[in-house]
A and B are shown apart, each in its own frame.
Chain A
Amino acid sequence: MSSKDNRFYLGENKEALMIGNEAIVRGCLEAGVGFVAQYPGTPTSDIGETFQMLLKNDAELREYLVHHWAINEAVAVSECVGAAWAGSRVLNPLKHVGLNVASDPLSVIALNGPGPGAMVLVVGADPGSLGSHQEQNDRFYSWMLHLPVIEPWSPQENKDWIKIAFELSEKHDIPVYFRTSTRVAHSRGIVKLGEIQKPKEKHHFTRNIPKYCSLPPHAINNHVRLYERIEEVRKELPKLGLNRYIEGTNTTGIVTSGMPFGYTMEALNQLNLNDVPIMKLGIIYPINYDEIIGFLQKLNRVIIIEELEPFLEVKIAEICHKNNLKVEVIGQKYFPKFGEYSTGLVSEVLAKIFNKQPSQIMLKAQKYYNSFQNIIPKRFPTFCSGCPERATLYAIKKATNDLENTVIAGDIGCYVMSFFPPNECSDFIICMSGGLSAAIGLSSKTDQNIIAFIGDSTFLHTGMAPLAEAVNYDCNIILFIFVNNWVAMTGHQEVVGVTNHKLSISKICEAIGVKWLKVADSYDPHNLIRTIEKAKTKKGVKVIIIRRECALQANRFRQSEIRKLKEQGEKVREIMYVISNCQMCMECARVLGCPAIRRTTINGQEQMQIDQDRCIRCGVCFEICPNHAINKIDLYPFDKEVSFREP
């Protein structure tokens, strides 16, 4: 395995296999991007991981390209425009809900414009909520803020069009909204490459008060200028060639864009509807009216195939209305306004609209599946083996004997999994640090015990502000801060300042005014239980910092250390936990719920057993087994020990 990924170095006209996000990174290198800042969020986190990987292995690249893991999306987007104002081409990847956080600065950035540089936002939508806590149709931001929206479908389009997005942004002094989705971002295909461009080396900010200070009267002037800029973009659309027309003689046509285009093509083929004309839009705002009118004029009916709330449908109905076109516009009357589409779904709906027989193979497969679906064991997402967050939940359950009288404010991080069985100990979730904020309101209106969760990254993202408010109002809240060193949920990006130990969360809490603060380790459950019991007796804000590295990362590091030692011929101390006298009390499987523990039957006797290849040796089950049925076996006590690293 070589350290440099060749796909980002191959020259013009070569081919590489890339997922959508990798193609975006490649396109950025070809566009001469100089600055990238982002807060992680599925499905755009791996854009940053790819940049980080390239930068780590390439000193020359480090001289002209900067990638920042930002503290939150509002910071990231403003950071980006700062670099653009110095003249750089900048990229800001974020997930759909990240755009909600970034929308306040973005509304002004759109007025001011990113010039003289260029700015592209890659917004990862998530129809079907495949990696998010909600689904929303983020496309409507483009109407509000006048951002041109480009919607790619394939990795090739991702690569080619991101370059067009930068050119458009630079030429018209406007941020461009490059909208992918979970499916677009994470599908792999063949990409024909272009030439890599180095960005210019020197940058300079030039003062320009009317442009950069959107206060009255400049705010209004910039608003007018924004209307003008979007009209300029509209005029340029025919030259961009982003829309694609597939001919057909049928008087019912289809307008679609992004990934639904793929489902539509395959569904039409499946139904043998090969004469339906298709307009695939590559840019969905602004729209080239003449092109759409030209397409509609030959039709009696037009079907709009788009995921989530009707966006194109509204626009196309408006075009028909204003131009007196007698075309029936069909969309959400047949298609769902929620969830992710698929070839199967589009095919079923089109069969209905065109009065065709749906594919029998497909119907049979679905029907038979429904007949046995209920025997498939549920596999809820849960914490990894040995996760310190699970061990914390265990201690909370033990220390809080009246769950009736306790409210647990959940939040977004791996600890969201506390909602699912068998853990089931969070009561609500809003958004990043929404839990702690809601706890402030709750504590003002009820005497119940209130517990709130937050992770290190979420705390820095937006959690410091509600903590300061909770301290100010002396709210009776126990706040658990999981300092596991990583933005774990989204795949282990660095937590700004925490992973590299540049800042201290406990010092931040003290500075905010938290009087009662304890640092605890959930791998020592009995002590943690006592700490929680003590916290319950105190008034005001109590903070318990759980300081234990994410088990997945800690174990990866430990295993690589062990591998290294073994390769050098060293012997390594090995510890195993083995269940030998199981009473089937279910404490480890149901109350703790570590997935390395399985229920088996040995010699007709039901008992718990530890899967050694899945156990990471955290020792928590050994500590908590009330029957002392779990033994710690020290295989080579005198050999070199490799323990988990200090967080």
Chain B
Amino acid sequence: MNHKTKFQETDIINIVIAGTAGQGVITIKRLIEFAAHDSNCQSIFGSEMHGLAQREGAITSHTRYQKILSHNVRKNLYSPSICYGGADLYLGFEPSEVLRRAQFASERTIFCINSRTIPPILVAAKMDEYPKLETIEKILKEISNNVFFINATEMALDHFDDAQKMNMIMLGFAVASGSIPFIKIDDYKNVIKRELRQPDMNIKAFDLGYEKGKEVFG
């Protein structure tokens, strides 16, 4: 496995997070960015979508940062969104939503995906089909060797009786993959304490995901 990429401090790190509205895509994005800031990253820029309240739409966000700015001004971070094929980490909260934005991934992308599906209403209404998980996995494996599914929603329900904690488990899992470099674990925890309700439970969920990640990524 070649998923332990080495990053340079002047590299731009690119993270895509995708899911459906209400799953906490923006919350997790903010946590990573605040933690990157607390870890003294010199440049951070990321875009997210706000404003549509409904719970059912597709949501994607991009997080980008540089530990240290390059001396060459033309090599630094200028756009809040990632270019096609640019993701280092693709954090997916819903499998079909990972496919929807897979043009941002390439062979160097590490996919961390929650396997719980949320079929769109047209699927329930028999007006559309949801692809099999195996099909999704096969498609993504053509892009990169590093595709990892865990059932984080089930873990969240089992351990915390709260499906929403899925996102924190996924974050811990992704952190263990090594694909969010230069950010200290303690900084995530401090940010969780500062920004979220139920910090203890959220930290427990983060740790649970992290442990799971250690099993998978070593």
The CA of A1 and the CA of B120, in the complex, are separated in Å by: 34
Please name the residue on chain A nearest to B123 by beta carbon.
Answer: A377
| Min CB–CB distance A346 → chain B (angstroms) | 9
Q: Please tell me if the beta carbons of B78 and A183 are within 8 angstroms of each other in the complex.
A: no
Q: Which of B73-120 contact A (CB under 8 A)?
A: 73-76, 78-86, 96-97, 99-100, 102-106, 119-120
Q: Please tell me if the beta carbons of B56 and A261 are within 8 angstroms of each other in the complex.
A: no
The CA of A154 and the CA of B45, in the complex, are separated in Å by: 9
Q: Please tell me if the beta carbons of A552 and B81 are within 8 angstroms of each other in the complex.
A: no
Q: Please tell me if the beta carbons of B75 and A269 are within 8 angstroms of each other in the complex.
A: yes
Q: Please tell me if the beta carbons of A384 and B79 are within 8 angstroms of each other in the complex.
A: no
| Min CB–CB distance B40 → chain A (angstroms) | 10
Residues of A within 8 A of B20 (CB): 379
The CA of A366 and the CA of B84, in the complex, are separated in Å by: 7
Q: Which of B9-42 contact A (CB under 8 A)?
A: 20, 30, 33-34, 37, 42
Among the listed A154, A380, A385, which residue makes an inter-chain contact with B55, where contact means beta carbons less than 8 Å apart? A385
Is B201 an interface residue when CB atoms closer than 8 A count as contact? Answer: no
Residues of B within 8 A of A130 (CB): 49
0 or 1 for each of A24-56: is its CB under 8 Å from B? (1 = yes) = 000000000000000000110110000000000
Residues of B within 8 A of A344 (CB): 83-84
Q: Please tell me if the beta carbons of A378 and B142 are within 8 angstroms of each other in the complex.
A: no
Is A372 an interface residue when CB atoms closer than 8 A count as contact? Answer: yes
Q: Please tell me if the beta carbons of A361 and B45 are within 8 angstroms of each other in the complex.
A: no
Q: Please tell me if the beta carbons of A1 and B96 are within 8 angstroms of each other in the complex.
A: no
The CA of A70 and the CA of B20, in the complex, are separated in Å by: 31
Given known contacts A1-B195, A186-B50, is B103 in contact with A378 (CB within 8 Å)? no
Q: Which of B44, B73, B79, B129 has the most CB of A within 10 A?
A: B79
Given known contacts A274-B74, A344-B83, is B99 in contact with A376 (CB within 8 Å)? yes
Q: Which of A182, A381, A594, A597 has the most CB of B within 10 A?
A: A381
The CA of A383 and the CA of B21, in the complex, are separated in Å by: 12
Is B125 an interface residue when CB atoms closer than 8 A count as contact? Answer: yes
Contact stretch, chosen from A445-453, A488-496, A630-638: A488-496
Residues of B within 8 A of A382 (CB): 54, 56-57, 121
Residues of A within 8 A of B54 (CB): 381-384, 414, 417, 552
Q: Please tell me if the beta carbons of A188 and B48 are within 8 angstroms of each other in the complex.
A: yes
0 or 1 for each of B124-155: is its CB under 8 Å from A? (1 = yes) = 11111111000100010011000000000000
Given known contacts A189-B44, A593-B125, A597-B124, is B84 in contact with A131 (CB within 8 Å)? no
The CA of A590 and the CA of B128, in the complex, are separated in Å by: 12
Among the listed A188, A364, A384, which residue makes an inter-chain contact with B33, where contact means beta carbons less than 8 Å apart? A188
Is B190 an interface residue when CB atoms closer than 8 A count as contact? Answer: no
| Min CB–CB distance A398 → chain B (angstroms) | 17
For the complex, count residues of A whose C-beta is within 8 A of B: 77
Residues of A within 8 A of B123 (CB): 377, 598-599
Q: Please tell me if the beta carbons of B99 and A552 are within 8 angstroms of each other in the complex.
A: no
Q: Please tell me if the beta carbons of A43 and B125 are within 8 angstroms of each other in the complex.
A: no
Residues of A within 8 A of B128 (CB): 377-378
Q: Please tell me if the beta carbons of A375 and B79 are within 8 angstroms of each other in the complex.
A: no
Is B194 an interface residue when CB atoms closer than 8 A count as contact? Answer: yes
The CA of A490 and the CA of B157, in the complex, are separated in Å by: 31
Please name the residue on chain B nearest to A375 by beta carbon.
Answer: B131
0 or 1 for each of A327-365: is its CB under 8 Å from B? (1 = yes) = 000000000000000111001000000000001011011
Residues of B within 8 A of A189 (CB): 43-46, 80
Is A17 an interface residue when CB atoms closer than 8 A count as contact? Answer: yes
Is B122 an interface residue when CB atoms closer than 8 A count as contact? Answer: yes
Residues of A within 8 A of B43 (CB): 189-190
Q: Please tell me if the beta carbons of B53 and A422 are within 8 angstroms of each other in the complex.
A: no
Is A608 an interface residue when CB atoms closer than 8 A count as contact? Answer: yes
Residues of B within 8 A of A505 (CB): none
Residues of A within 8 A of B75 (CB): 269
Residues of B within 8 A of A134 (CB): none
The CA of A638 and the CA of B19, in the complex, are separated in Å by: 39
Q: Which of A302-337 contact B (CB under 8 A)?
A: none
The CA of A378 and the CA of B194, in the complex, are separated in Å by: 37
Is A263 an interface residue when CB atoms closer than 8 A count as contact? Answer: yes
The CA of A15 and the CA of B196, in the complex, are separated in Å by: 21
The CA of A597 and the CA of B123, in the complex, are separated in Å by: 10
| Min CB–CB distance B178 → chain A (angstroms) | 21
| Min CB–CB distance A363 → chain B (angstroms) | 8
Residues of A within 8 A of B58 (CB): 379
Residues of A within 8 A of B126 (CB): 586, 589-590, 599
Q: Please tell me if the beta carbons of A266 and B121 are within 8 angstroms of each other in the complex.
A: no
Q: Which of A479-530 contact B (CB under 8 A)?
A: 488-492
Q: Which of A269-287 contact B (CB under 8 A)?
A: 269-270, 274
| Min CB–CB distance A284 → chain B (angstroms) | 19
Given known contacts A378-B128, A421-B122, is B83 in contact with A343 (CB within 8 Å)? yes
Is A595 an interface residue when CB atoms closer than 8 A count as contact? Answer: yes
Please name the residue on chain A nearest to B156 by beta carbon.
Answer: A613
Residues of B within 8 A of A269 (CB): 74-75
Residues of B within 8 A of A381 (CB): 52, 54, 56-57
| Min CB–CB distance B116 → chain A (angstroms) | 10
Residues of A within 8 A of B71 (CB): none
Q: Please tell me if the beta carbons of B124 and A599 are within 8 angstroms of each other in the complex.
A: yes
Is B218 an interface residue when CB atoms closer than 8 A count as contact? Answer: no
The CA of A343 and the CA of B62, in the complex, are separated in Å by: 13
Q: Please tell me if the beta carbons of B55 and A361 are within 8 angstroms of each other in the complex.
A: no
Among the listed B57, B81, B195, which residue makes an inter-chain contact with A379, where contact means beta carbons less than 8 Å apart? B57
Among the listed A264, A347, A380, A490, which residue makes an inter-chain contact with B53, where contact means beta carbons less than 8 Å apart? A490
Q: Which of A154-194 contact B (CB under 8 A)?
A: 154, 182-183, 185-190
> Which A residues lie at the B interface, using CB under 8 A?
1-2, 15, 17, 19, 42-43, 45-46, 130-131, 154, 182-183, 185-190, 246, 259, 261-266, 268-270, 274, 342-344, 347, 359, 361-362, 364-366, 368-369, 372, 375-385, 414, 417, 421-422, 488-492, 552, 586, 589-590, 593-595, 597-599, 608, 613
List, sorted by A's number, 17 A–B pairs whose CB atoms are closer than 8 Å: A17-B37, A42-B51, A46-B51, A259-B80, A261-B78, A264-B78, A362-B85, A366-B84, A368-B143, A369-B103, A377-B119, A377-B122, A380-B121, A490-B53, A586-B125, A598-B123, A599-B126
11 more CB-based (< 8 A) A-B contacts, given A17-B33, A266-B83: A17-B44, A42-B52, A188-B80, A270-B83, A361-B86, A378-B120, A422-B127, A589-B121, A589-B124, A590-B127, A608-B124
**List of 7 A-B pairs having minimum Cβ-Cβ separation, nearest first:** A42-B51, A365-B85, A187-B80, A369-B103, A262-B79, A265-B78, A361-B85
> Which B residues lie at the A interface, using CB under 8 A?
20, 30, 33-34, 37, 42-58, 72-76, 78-86, 96-97, 99-100, 102-106, 119-131, 135, 139, 142-143, 157, 163, 194-197, 199
